[in-house]
Structure formats: C-alpha cells, structure tokens
Amino acid sequence: MIGAIQTGARDAVASMQLGVSRVTAGVALATQAGESIAEIGGNACQVVDSVAHISSALSEQSVASAEIAQNVERVARMAEENCAAVAGNAGTAAQLERLSQGLEAELSHFKLG
C-alpha cells in the first residue's frame, strides 16, 4: 500500500513538474509574443512618421509646383508684351523710314552746287 501511495505521489509530482514546465513554456511564448507586438507597434509608429514626412514633402512640392506655374504664366505674359512691343517698334521704325525718305526728298531741293 505504501508503494502504491509512493508511486501515486511520484506520478503526481511528475505531472506537476510537467504542468510547471508547460506553464513556464507558455509564459515564455506569451512574453515573446508581447515583445513581437511591441516591436510591431514601434514599426507602425515609424510607418506613421514616414507617411507624415511624405505627406509634408508632397505638400511642399505642390506649393513649389504652383509657384512654378505662376512664374511660367508671368514669363508667357512678358513674352506677349515683348512681342507687342517689337511689333510696335517695327511700325515706328517703318514710320521713321518714311519720314527720313521725305526729309531726303525735301533736302534734295536745297543742294548746293
């Protein structure tokens, strides 16, 4: 009878040790899972920061693109104004040439000789 009790006690101790072993392994796995989740959370924060930086850069590029578009429009207006000024200058030059020819004709009457 004592032998049976001792065997039962040994079996109970072995079962408890196996249970403790499994609980310890479970705790280790839970700890590892917690660390993995914390790492994933940290990486998610980095992704959020990266997206914020990208968004900011895109916003700055949008502003720069708008400024470039305004400058291109300003250059186009200036080119149109220059074209109009050149056309006006060509007309003025033609008028001056006609006046010059008229003056030459008038001066030809006063030649000495």
pLDDT grade, residue 7 (50/70/90)?
Answer: confident
Asked whether the whole model's pTM tops 0.85, one would answer no
98-112 pLDDT, tens digit per residue, is 999 988 888 878 766
Residue reference for tokens 């000789």? 113
Q: Over the stretch 47-95, which tens digit does the pLDDT of each residue have?
A: 999 999 999 999 999 999 999 999 999 999 999 999 999 999 989 999 9
CA distance 48 to 51: 5
